[in-house]
Amino acid sequence: MATHGAATERPVPRLRIQGLGVRFGGLDALVDVGLEVGDGEVVGLIGPNGAGKTTLFNAVCALVRPSTGTIETAGVPAPGRPDRLAAAGIARTLQGLGVLPGLSVLENVLVSVLDRPDRNGRARVALERVGLGARSGDPVGALPYPEQKRVALARALATGPSLLLLDEPAGGLGPADVLDLSTTIREVAAGGCAVLLVEHHVDFVMGVCDRVVVLDFGRVIATGRPEEVRRDPAVEEAYLGLAVDR
Ligand SMILES: Nc1ncnc2c1ncn2[C@@H]1O[C@H](COP(=O)(O)OP(=O)(O)OP(=O)(O)O)[C@@H](O)[C@H]1O
């Protein structure tokens, strides 16, 4: 039976991955992976070390070439080149810090928006958003680790992304900073941005995400709301029993 009317149609997801496979020589790093992230949604990607989480990010960012499958952003193929990600509204933070130690806090954010109109305004708004408005002139190396991580987040936010990829954003943070990070991510999503995050900090993932996708040996073994995934015996066996709640 046909369905009629716009009200019955699902919105096109900001990110849609279907049948994604990535091979490194003889190793299948990803096998037939599918996931979606809608506008305003926060999705967590979890799984044991080597499950393929970073490889999936790298595929979305055109840093590795898929052997199978499709990656679409808002219904069109994702850019096939890393230098076109920003124009497509995609921003990513890296595992670890990724800040430029010789530059100030503000300069670290400016580097991501050098080609944009009102780059200073964008950078300053992003720094306010992560609570570092008053530190913009400081050398980034003078900031403690958690605040340097905020700078890296501000750099991604300054581009005004519609899809934000966060690679272990809570890594190395204490409870208070994790709470602040959760608040910032929910605010960003409330503004309509789709957020996909990779993280080993299970309590953080379960608290901040609308949905969680679990990878194991390159395959999706579970997808669902956090409480569903937490109760899934396959996830417990593959991952949660091993995960560290920091
Ligand atoms: N460039 C590469 N060449 C060869 N093998 C690779 C390459 N990148 C990743 N791999 C392999 O692909 C698999 C998936 O790695 P990936 O880094 O995506 O896992 P991960 O889930 O992000 O792990 P972690 O939680 O430790 O960051 C691993 O077996 C890894 O050794």
Is any ligand 1 atom within 6 A of the Cβ of residue 50? yes
Residue 215 near residue 221 (C-beta atoms within 8 A) = yes
- Tell me which residue of 152, 50, 154 sits closest to 98, measured CA to CA: 152
- Tell me which residue of 152, 14, 26 sits closest to 89, measured CA to CA: 14
CA of 129 to the centre of ligand 1 (A): 32
Tokens at 151, concatenated: 């700078």
- According to DSSP, the residues that pair with 118 across neighbouring strands are none
pTM of the model: 0.92
Is any ligand 1 atom within 6 A of the Cβ of residue 24? yes
Task: Compute the distance between CA of residue 139 and CA of residue 197 in angstroms, rounded to an integer.
Answer: 28
Task: Look up residue 59 and give its DSSP letter.
Answer: H
pLDDT attached to residue 242: 58
Q: What is the block-wise mean pLDDT of the chain (246 residues), using blocks of 10 residues? A: 56 96 96 98 95 97 97 95 92 85 94 90 96 93 94 96 96 94 97 96 95 96 94 83 52
CA of 131 to the centre of ligand 1 (A): 33
Is any ligand 1 atom within 6 A of the Cβ of residue 201? no
| 3-state secondary structure at position 39 | coil
**Protein residue with least CA distance to atom 18, ligand 1:** 52
Phi, psi of 86 (to 5 degrees): -60, -40
**Protein residue with least CA distance to atom 30, ligand 1:** 50
Domains and CATH numbers, the chain: 11-89+162-246 (3.40.50.300), 97-160 (no CATH)
Is any ligand 1 atom within 6 A of the Cβ of residue 168? no
pLDDT attached to residue 11: 87
**Ligand 1 pocket test target in 53, 60, 219 with most atoms within 8 Å of CB:** 53
pLDDT attached to residue 1: 38
Task: Compute the distance between CA of residue 23 and CA of residue 245 in angstroms, rounded to an integer.
Answer: 31
CA of 217 to the centre of ligand 1 (A): 10
Task: Look up residue 135 and give its DSSP letter.
Answer: G
ipTM over 0.90: yes
Task: Compute the distance between CA of residue 213 and CA of residue 18 in angstroms, rounded to an integer.
Answer: 14
